[in-house]
Chain A
Amino acid sequence: MDVKLPRLGEGADSGIVVNILVAEGDQIQKDQTILELENEKAVAPIPSPVSGTIQKIHVKEGDEITVGQVLISLVEEEAAPQVSATGKPETTFESSKGLPRPAAEAKEEAVLAKEYRYEAKSGVPPPASPSIRKLARDLGIDLTRVQGSEPGGRITLKDVRDYIQRLQQMAFEKRPVSREAFLRPPESIDFSKWGSVTKKRMSPLRRTVAARTQEAWSTVPHVFQFDEADISALLEMRKKYAPLYEKKGARLTLTALALKAAVVPLKKHPIFNASLDESTQEIVYKEYYHIGVAVDTESGLIVPVIKDVDRKSLFDLSRELGEVAERTRRREVSLGELQGGTLTISNLGGIGGAHFTPIVYKPQSAVIGLGQGTLKPVVRNNQVEIRTMLPVTLSYDHRLIDGADGARFIRDFVEALQNFKEENFKLEGK
């Protein structure tokens, strides 16, 4: 059978082969990884759906491949026929021995309608009665694009009707502007006119980051609100508990603390946890708190999402954050782990710098940027004191949120950091 690139997730219909882990002639097991695909923001392992011997590998490293493309051909292991109590042999049949696929997979097929093309090994046109073929000719419909629902993939009148209706539906659907479209400047500039240059293709990850940020930048009216949080007390507590966390295998970072603190203003100001549905002009309030954390990897920015932050203890958050960040750096997070965020925190404090203005990660409505905490002379109770001050920026979508709300939110966040309760650090029963 031919193993094809399966659909991996929302928007993930192509990628670049970065690693082929098998060779022709190899015996492989079901679910064994065939190759790794750099896809949007992750490197995804592609497993084999069956066990067998690889006859041919159809792709090579560096190939850009799309859903449905044949990756390898393999000879399936012969499953020994099982004999049931009645003594009759029960034979199992692989339903997808080749294109065209039978009706049982119709549901899955519907999703792939755009990519469908009938390809018979024998090269014959798709099965359809003369009357249906005449109809298709009259309408100018290419029958190889129509999925037949009858045995052998035969196309009925209903299949043609469904196909046309789907086309019509698609034609009137509001289509998001192609993300790629933003990236194509009208003309190539010859920089080598002014000196020597090297050229490198943009990786899929770079392209994704570029497309996403450009789209957000051009569609979201950004407002930036700056503040500073006195984290002296917070750092004291961290110092006290960090060894304990360390022992239990968790790193107590400022990002983890910020995660915990962010839930407070988010709950108080639900609009910051909301999204604008541009197609329906509805504001969608989310009753979950999934916070994305910007992670710097060798290949670029990736934002894995920590789910249900409000329901997790500081310890659990610390441990999960450390683990996810590590996997992100190794580019082993799944696409699912990159989706569903309601707010993002970007902490550049570890590198340095004060305030910066992060870009809202659409369709979220706000992002918090943390700079490096530094010792500063601060007036407290009419005294100049030396305190550790953390630069905080809130970037938000002015379509949803007004300046006053922004100020309120950032104050509440700063307060949450400054008044971080020690009990949060406690390891209950751990």
Chain B
Amino acid sequence: MEPLKTEIVVLGAGPGGYAAAFYAADKGKKVVLVEQHRRLGGVCLNSGCIPSKALLHSIQLIREAKSSTLRGISFDEPRIDLARMRAWKESILDKLGQGIAGLAQRRNVEVLHGRGHFEDSRTLRVETAEGQKFINYETGIIAVGSKPAMPSAFDLGNKRVMTSTEALELEEIPNELLVVGGGYIGMELGTVYATLGSKVTVVELLDSILLGADPDLVRPVMRYAQEAFKEVRLKTKVLKMATSGRQIKVTMESEKQRTEELYDRVLVCVGRVSNCADLGLENTKVERDDKGFVKVDAQKRTADPAIFAIGDVAGGALLAHKAAREARIAVDAITGEASSADAFVIPAVIFTDPEVAWCGLTESEAKEKGMQVQVAKFPWSASGRALTLDRPDGLTKLIIEPETERILGVGIVGAGAGELISEGVLAVEMGATARDLADCVHPHPTLSETLMECAEVFYGYSTHTFARKRTGTLLKEAAR
């Protein structure tokens, strides 16, 4: 059979892969997009960002209804119809998946469904439902993503031991749920199950949940978790699991104390591994690092000059928006435009309750690197909008370079932090100073005001707080 000839083949149709395929097609390239799953969109759309946010939105009302009693509106106990919840969630995924397929079609991006396997640096074999197909390409882009890690000690072949993928299917609401790993996935899904009625126990190996976020941003989430979850156990290691009837017997160790407990289900969220096994990479010059991620340069080119790699499979932050940006970088490089991943800001959002979001430099990072920075903080208890939303548990902070007053990082915890962080991204990317942020009028009453007031805190004249110590040079501008 005559092999298919194309300029670019993209392997994997997640947020990195389809973005690369579309961008290359928009630039006039002939593109083939290969995806093994029926629905396009990758982990993000099928078993990651989108379904988890759909569930988090659904359950939000339960919490709202509970706290609403104090505000004078009460509801009866909620009745939960898991089938409808799943169906609603699925309908979103279908809509988005079809949307991507439609966009591919309109761009003349050919979509091949099947597993891809590299025969050599310029040939990809695809196992489609209609049999093998071969693609001869000029440039390949690997965007096969990652999947939840499942340590062999936990892998019992028992459906009661879940990864995030299964947990998002919401088969049942277990009575006792153990979440292994207090990272963002564990905390988000723990929140879903706890709100739906599970007794959730989170165990975390380290001494804090949400590794990577500044401790002051984690604190409100920890407070929520301590109230909503049965328990959050830090510095605890899960040693082994075993099937015990309709339950899972879990052995844990905390400060040399070994315990055995029974759980109805266990959710394992201990990290993610790259999907590049069985891709035939050994037939190319592509190299991988010791964690199994594909090694790439600043332009996302692998050790094989004809092959690029973007997104989770190329390591770094495993985030959809990072993959999408890398798609642009790789395609720009392929089409001969100067581009590189020069220190752009990748914001991070954790959709816990409250949400945590940050971008640029974090306070912890500055401390680790011994950088001299100043941190301005504005507590949401001083924000009128936060009080009207009955969410005073937030905090907005700016990480500022003292000599230039430039904003190097922004951190937010609080309701809707994920939406608020984008202003911080703009500020950091534009090289804005705290003065710029303080001088931009923010509408009242909104949560976005906390960013402006935080910049004012730096200069010592925030209206709604009183700063004993001013850090910025308040009169510098006025003196000019």
| B-binding residues in A (CB < 8 A) | 90-93, 97-100, 120-130, 133-134, 137-138, 140, 148, 151-155
A129 touching B430, Cβ below 8 Å: yes
Interface of A (DSSP majority class): loop
12 more A-B residue pairs beyond the given contacts A91-B479, A130-B344, A130-B429, with a C-beta to C-beta distance below 8 A = A93-B479, A100-B403, A120-B403, A121-B401, A125-B343, A127-B430, A133-B342, A151-B405, A151-B433, A151-B436, A152-B406, A154-B433
Specify the chain B residue showing the minimal Cβ separation from A130: B429
Pair B401/A129 contact, Cβ less than 8 Å? no
For the complex of A and B, the 7 pairs showing the least CB-CB separation, nearest first, are A127-B431, A152-B404, A152-B433, A98-B403, A152-B406, A154-B431, A122-B371
B340 beta carbon closer than 8 Å to chain A? yes
Determine if B364 is an interface residue (Cβ-Cβ < 8 Å): no
B372 within 8 A of A: yes
Residues of chain B within 8 A of A121, CB atoms compared: 371-372, 401, 403
Contacting pair B408 A124 (CB below 8 A): yes
Decide if the interface of chain B is mainly helix, strand, loop or mixed.
Answer: loop
CB-contacts of B277-302 with A (<8 A): none
Q: Please give me the residue from chain B that is nearest to A143 by CB atom.
A: B342
Q: Which residues of B contact A92 (CB under 8 A)?
A: 479
Which single member of A93, A122, A124, A155 contacts B473 (CB below 8 Å)? A93
What's the Cα separation between A327 and B150 when bound, in Å?
83
Contact B366 A122 (CB under 8 A): yes
* Given A91-B475, A151-B435, A100:B404 Cβ within 8 A: yes
Contact between B340 and A127, CB atoms less than 8 A apart: no
Cα A126 to Cα B406 in complex, Å, equals 10
Cross-chain contact A127 with B338 (CB below 8 angstroms): no
- How far is the CB of B301 from the nearest CB of chain A, in Å? 16
Contact yes or no, B338 A138, CB < 8 A: yes
The yes or no answer to B368 lying at the interface (CB within 8 A) is: no
Q: In the complex, what residues of B have CB within 8 A of residue A125's CB?
A: 342-343
What distance in Å separates the Cβ of B262 from its nearest Cβ neighbour in chain A?
A: 51
- Those of B387-410 within 8 Å (CB) of chain A: 401, 403-406, 408
Complex Cα gap A124–B431 (Å): 11
CA distance A152 to B437 in the complex (A): 13
**Which residues in B have their C-beta under 8 angstroms from that of A155?**
431
> For the complex, what is the distance from the CA of A100 to the CA of B479, rounded to whole Å?
20
The residue from B403, B429, B479 contacting A99, defined by CB atoms under 8 A apart: B403
Q: Knowing A91-B475, A130-B344 touch, does A122 contact B337 (C-beta < 8 A)?
A: no
Complex Cα distance, B400 from A121, in Å, reads: 12
**B162 near A: Cβ within 8 Å?**
no
A128–B343 Cα distance when bound, in Å, is 12
- Complex CA gap A127/B430 in Å reads 7
- Cβ-closest chain A residue relative to B373: A122
Q: How far is the CA of A92 from the CA of B475 in the complex (A)?
A: 9
Closest approach, in angstroms, between the C-beta of A103 and any C-beta of chain B? 10
Partner of B338, one of A124, A137, A154: A137
Distance of B338 from chain A, by nearest CB (Å):
4
Shortest C-beta distance, B401 to chain A (Å), equals 5
Asked if B476 lies at the interface with its beta carbon under 8 angstroms from chain A, I say yes
Closest to B344 in A: A130
Check B372 against A137 for contact (C-beta < 8 Å): no
Q: How far is the CA of A216 from the CA of B344 in the complex (A)?
A: 54
Interface residues of B in 332-372 (CB under 8 A from A): 337-340, 342-344, 361, 366, 369, 371-372
Assess the B342–A122 pair: CB atoms within 8 A: no
CB interface residues, B 302-351, toward A, < 8 Å: 337-340, 342-344
Please report the C-alpha to C-alpha distance between residue A122 and residue B403 in the assembled complex, in whole angstroms: 10
- What is the distance, in angstroms, from B379's C-beta to the closest C-beta of chain A? 25
Contacts A130-B344, A138-B337 given; does A120 touch B429 at CB 8 Å:
no
The answer for the CA separation of A151 and B343 in the assembled complex, in Å, is 21
Q: B372 to chain A: which residues have CB within 8 Å?
A: 121-122
Within the assembled complex, what's the spacing in Å between the Cα atoms of A128 and B429?
7
**Given A128-B431, A130-B429, A138-B337, A93 and B476 contact (CB-CB distance below 8 Å):** yes
Q: How far is the CA of A129 from the CA of B430 in the complex (A)?
A: 4
Closest Cβ–Cβ distance, residue A383 to chain B (whole Å): 84
Residues of B within 8 A of A133 (CB): 342
When distances are taken between beta carbons in the complex, the residues of chain B under 8 Å from A91 are 473, 475, 479
Kindly identify, within residues 415 to 467 of chain B, every residue whose CB is under 8 Å from any CB belonging to chain A.
Answer: 429-433, 435-436
Bound complex: CA A91 to CA B474 (Å): 9
Closest residue of chain B to A140 (Cβ to Cβ) is B338
The complex places the Cα of A377 from the Cα of B259 at a distance, in Å, of 123
Q: How far is the CA of A93 from the CA of B472 in the complex (A)?
A: 11
Residues of A within 8 A of B337 (CB): 138
Closest chain-A Cβ to B134's Cβ sits at a distance in Å of 37
Give every chain A residue within 8 A of B373 (Cβ-Cβ): 122
Instruction: Verify B371–A123 contact, CB threshold 8 A.
Output: yes
**In this complex, what residue of B is CB-closest to A138?**
B338
Q: How far is the CA of A154 from the CA of B401 in the complex (A)?
A: 13
Inside 8 A of B339's CB, which chain A residues have their CB?
134, 137
CB distance from A159 to the nearest CB of B (A): 12
Q: Which one of A93, A125, A126 has the greatest number of beta carbons of chain B within 10 Å?
A: A93
Interface 1/0s, chain B 228-250, versus A by CB < 8 A?
00000000000000000000000
Residue of A nearest to B434 (CB): A152
Contacts of A152 in B (CB 8 A): 401, 404-406, 431-433, 435
Q: How far is the CA of A137 from the CA of B338 in the complex (A)?
A: 6
When distances are taken between beta carbons in the complex, the residues of chain B under 8 Å from A138 are: 337-338
Q: Are B401 and A137 touching (Cβ within 8 A)?
A: no
Q: Which B41-93 residues have C-beta < 8 A from chain A? A: none
Contact B342 A120 (CB under 8 A): no
Q: How far is the CA of A9 from the CA of B480 in the complex (A)?
A: 30
Contacts of A93 in B (CB 8 A): 473, 475-476, 479
Closest to A139 in B: B338
**Is A129 touching B342 in the complex (CB atoms < 8 A)?**
no
**Residue in B343, B401, B430 whose beta carbon sits within 8 Å of that of A122 in the complex:** B401
Docked complex Cα distance between A177 and B339 (Å)? 38
- Report the minimal beta-carbon distance from B284 to chain A, rounded to whole angstroms: 28
Q: How far is the CB of B433 from chain A (nearest CB, A)?
A: 4
For A102, give the chain B residue with the smallest CB separation.
B404
Give the docked Cα–Cα distance between A224 and B476 (Å).
64
Alpha-carbon separation in the docked complex, A98 to B372 (Å): 12
> By CB atoms of chain B within 10 A, which of A124, A134, A152, A154 has the most?
A152
Considering only CB atoms, which chain B residue lies closest to A154 in the complex? B431
Question: A99 vs B403: C-alpha distance in the bound complex, in angstroms?
Answer: 7
A-chain residues with CB within 8 Å of residue B340 when the two chains form the complex? 137
Complex contacts, A154 vs chain B, CB 8 Å: 406, 430-433
Question: Most A CB atoms within 10 A — which of B401, B431, B433?
Answer: B431
A273 to B148, CA, bound (A): 87
Of A99, A137, A148, A151, which is within 8 A of B342 by CB?
A137
User: Which of A100, A124, A130 counts the most chain B CB atoms within 10 A?
Assistant: A124
Contacts known (A129-B429, A130-B344, A133-B342); A120 close to B401, Cβ less than 8 A: yes
